[in-house]
């Protein structure tokens, strides 16, 4: 594609080469709609990120529809439930029994790798290490995107711009402040994540609520485990040598798991802050926001990546309708349709975070409320069915 001068219009210009941008590009190109992706980082950098681990069934279906489900189906782990643990005692939430549904454990890193391979196989245009990206005339019929790449100023004219550029991207900032409404809650703690080449401690994930703080036992495959500990916001990975991490994790998880866990040297350790965030609207003229560019959830409900997938589905359907059916009902309803599902996932992620974490300013009454809700969850079929249907993913 010649980007020295705007002689060639692409149809959809996608900012961001993470899961949202790559999946949207793959689906659009398979529908005959041309895209260009601009990514700020190198491909190695993008593939070096350790992020999500659990895919809803809707995300699994969409990846198959995009032609990138083969390795996920071969290597991904089908999970029919999760464990919740309260003060070292666990109980199971059986998704299959309550909903007939399951989730797939398959790391975002591998999913992103599959998407890059698929884009390359179709000869996709992905420009890496671009900077100074600016979206111009998004509210006109002919938006343009200017940027620098390989030391040269470039510009691409397009029909539509998809802001798939994450929480710190330029897409959301392009929507005028007097048009945009933002909703946010920042949590007074973070998650310290550790990746270790050890067998998972349990067949299924364990979400543990403990006086000392929240812990999560997850995995990527039978020889790669992912663990998290709730830590104070001002904590640092330097304070957590592996031995200290393992000792603390054992304090917070069920006794039988603590006695059987296989520990080992970490191959990645990082702290992620937790926030709930939504920006409305997710469309402004011919600019559409997808994924983390528009919303952030605390990872407690495993929704971040899965919300990106449902946004991409709605936008793919809308743009296909525009180009193939010459209809714009999908485009006109995209923001409302995506936000309806976003807010339900925000609620679920917020409620799981509020239920399972220790809050520094928590009163004794607050703590009793958490304990009562956990006991209700342990003993009520209706409460477990509600958690199950939210965890496996509400319908698109």
Give the residue numbers annotated as catalytic, written as ranges: 79, 207, 299, 303, 391
Give the residue closest to ligand PHB by C-beta. Answer: 53
Instruction: Give min distance, CB of 1 to ligand FAS, in A.
Output: 16
Q: Which does 377 bind (CB under 5 to 8 A by kind): ligand FAS, ligand PHB, none?
A: none
- The encoded tokens of residue 386 equal 């509600």
Instruction: Give min distance, CB of 259 to ligand FAS, in A.
Output: 26
Nearer to ligand FAS, 272 or 369 (CB): 272
Instruction: Give min distance, CB of 240 to ligand PHB, in A.
Output: 17
Which residues contribute to the site for ligand FAS (CB under 6 A)? 15-21, 38-41, 46, 51-53, 108, 130, 133, 164-166, 168-170, 272, 291-292, 299, 302-305, 308
Nearer to ligand PHB, 196 or 300 (CB): 300
Instruction: Give min distance, CB of 54 to ligand PHB, in A.
Output: 5
Question: Which string of DSSP letters, residue by residue, matches 198-257?
Answer: S--SSSS-EEEE-TT--EEEEEEETTEEEEEEEEETT--GGG--HHHHHHHHHHHS-HHH
Q: Which does 226 bind (CB under 5 to 8 A by kind): ligand PHB, ligand FAS, none?
A: ligand PHB
Nearer to ligand FAS, 16 or 330 (CB): 16
CA 189 to chain centre: 19
Instruction: Give min distance, CB of 70 to ligand FAS, in A.
Output: 21
Q: Give me the sign of the Cα torsion angle 359, 304, 273, 281.
A: negative
Number of helices and strands in the chain (H, E): 13, 19
Rounded Cα–Cα distance for residues 66 and 60 (Å): 10
Contacts of 75 (CB under 8 A, 6+ apart): 106, 110, 221
Give CA separation, 213 vs 87, 228, 304, 351, 358, in Å. Answer: 10, 11, 22, 16, 5
Nearer to ligand PHB, 37 or 297 (CB): 297
- The encoded tokens of residue 163 equal 């802001």
Q: Which does 40 bind (CB under 5 to 8 A by kind): ligand FAS, ligand PHB, none?
A: ligand FAS
Instruction: Give min distance, CB of 209 to ligand PHB, in A.
Output: 13
Question: Which string of DSSP letters, residue by residue, matches 312-373?
Answer: HHHHHHHHHHHHHH---HHHHHHHHHHHHHHHHHHHHHHHHHHHHSPPTT--HHHHHHHHHH
Which residues contribute to the site for ligand PHB (CB under 6 A)? 52-54, 205, 218, 226, 299-300, 302
Nearer to ligand PHB, 349 or 370 (CB): 349
Reading phi first (left if > 0) and then psi (alpha if -120 to 50, else beta), residue 313 is in alpha
Nearer to ligand FAS, 51 or 96 (CB): 51
Q: Which does 300 bind (CB under 5 to 8 A by kind): ligand FAS, ligand PHB, none?
A: ligand PHB
Question: What are the start-end ranges of the H helices in 31-92?
Answer: 43-47, 57-65, 70-75
CA atoms within 13 A on the CB side of 321: 14
Rounded Cα–Cα distance for residues 75 and 190 (Å): 30
- Nearest 5°: CA angle at 279, between 327 and 102? 75
Nearer to ligand PHB, 14 or 86 (CB): 86
Contact 229, 191 (CB under 8 A): yes
């Amino acid at each position: 594609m010649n980007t020295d001068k705007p002689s060639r219009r692409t149809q959809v210009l996608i900012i961001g080469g993470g899961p949202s941008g790559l999946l949207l590009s793959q689906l659009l190109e398979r529908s005959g709609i041309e895209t260009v992706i601009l990514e700020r980082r190198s491909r190695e950098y993008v593939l070096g990120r350790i992020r999500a681990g659990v895919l809803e069934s809707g995300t699994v279906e969409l990846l198959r529809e995009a032609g990138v489900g083969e390795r996920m189906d071969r290597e991904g782990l089908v999970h029919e439930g999760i464990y919740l643990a309260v003060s070292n005692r666990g109980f199971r939430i059986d998704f299959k029994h309550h909903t007939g549904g399951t989730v797939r454990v398959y790391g975002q890193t591998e999913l992103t790798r599959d998407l890059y391979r698929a884009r390359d196989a179709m000869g996709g245009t992905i420009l890496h290490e671009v900077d100074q990206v600016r979206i111009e005339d998004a509210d006109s019929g002919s938006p343009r995107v200017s940027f620098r790449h390989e030391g040269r100023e470039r510009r691409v004219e397009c029909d539509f711009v998809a802001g798939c550029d994450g929480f710190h991207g330029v897409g959301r900032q392009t929507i005028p402040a007097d048009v945009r409404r933002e909703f946010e809650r920042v949590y007074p703690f973070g998650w310290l994540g550790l990746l270790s080449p050890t067998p998972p401690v349990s067949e299924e994930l364990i979400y543990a609520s403990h006086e000392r703080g929240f812990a999560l036992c997850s995995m990527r495959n039978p020889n790669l485990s992912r663990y998290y500990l709730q830590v104070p916001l001002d904590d640092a990975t330097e304070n957590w040598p592996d031995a200290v991490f393992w000792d603390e994790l054992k304090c917070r998880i069920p006794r039988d798991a603590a006695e059987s866990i296989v520990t080992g040297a970490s191959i990645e350790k990082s702290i992620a802050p937790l926030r709930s965030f939504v920006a409305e609207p997710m469309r402004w003229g011919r600019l559409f926001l997808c994924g983390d560019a528009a919303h952030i959830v605390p990872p407690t409900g495993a929704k971040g990546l899965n919300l990106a997938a449902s946004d991409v589905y709605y936008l793919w359907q809308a743009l296909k309708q525009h180009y193939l059916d010459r209809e714009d009902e999908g485009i006109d309803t995209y923001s409302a349709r995506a936000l309806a599902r976003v807010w339900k996932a925000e609620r679920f992620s917020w409620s799981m975070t509020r239920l399972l974490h220790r809050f520094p300013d928590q009163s004794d009454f607050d703590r009793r409320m958490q304990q009562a809700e956990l006991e209700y969850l342990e003993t009520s079929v209706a409460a477990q069915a509600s958690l199950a249907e939210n965890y496996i993913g509400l319908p698109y």
